[in-house]
Amino acid sequence: MDSKQLFFNCIDKVDEVIDNLKISDFNKPTPDEGWNVNRLLEHMFYELYWIPDIISDKTIEEVGDKYDKDYVNHNFKRNWKIGSDKAKKAVKQAEFGQNVYLSFSIVTNEDYINQVSGEMLIHAWDLAKAINFPLIFGEQLSQNIYKLAKPKIESMRLSGMFKGIKVNDSADITTKVLALYGRSD
């Protein structure tokens, strides 16, 4: 699976969960310590809406506060669809091999897409757990995320964003993916 298809598949998983979210779910806790559904959604919206600008090589300074809005509490399903469609279009049109500027590093646009794909998938799982929705990654998607995330596990842990969990080598691939990102089912 190439990086573009990986991104589309991960965002499709988020779309599944968003379609099943209700405003009444917003105060439910998520597996992200200290974050409820509303706070996690805010984070995901912010990341989603930045994708087209980051891929088009804009810097943080150039984008400024363009996305400092409340996308969650004003028709969140419609706003997610708009952001999702824009991000998918930007990824589809991207020519890989260019550098992009993140707050913590300069990476290739393909590396960025791979990173954000994994994060979005894991956050889809977080939301699904919060609302008791049976989200299934699937073998191929899990294999691809695992293959991309495993070599970066130390930098993920050092960043403080994800605290990996050790699992048995015989664990299924989805369990291994979740463990890389500090989750357990």
> What is the token pair recorded at 75?
């028709």
CB atoms within 10 A of CB 3: 20
- How far apart, in whole angstroms, are the C-alpha atoms of residue 51 and residue 145? 19
Q: Which residues pair with 108 in a beta bridge?
A: 99
Mean pLDDT (the chain) is 87
pTM for this prediction: 0.89
pLDDT of residue 12: 96
Confidence of residue 158 (pLDDT cuts 50, 70, 90): low
Residue 185 lies in a domain: no
Nearest to 125 by CA among 43, 39, 56, 184: 184
Q: What is the pLDDT of residues 45-97, one digit of tens each?
A: 988 988 998 888 777 778 777 777 776 777 899 999 999 999 999 999 999 88
Q: Does the structure show a pLDDT above 70 at 156?
A: no
Query: What's the domain range around 136?
Result: 3-180
- How far apart, in whole angstroms, are the C-alpha atoms of residue 9 and residue 24? 27
DSSP per residue, the chain: --HHHHHHHHHHHHHHHHHH--GGGTTSB-SSTT-BHHHHHHHHHHHHHHHHHHHTT--HHHHTTTT-S--STTTHHHHHHHHHHHHHHHHHH--TT-EEE-SS-EEEHHHHHHHHHHHHHHHHHHHHHHHT------HHHHHHHHHHHGGGHHHHHHHTS-------TTS-HHHHHHHHTT---
Residue 133 lies in a domain: yes
| Domains of the chain: total | 1
Residue 24: CATH number of its domain: 1.20.120.450
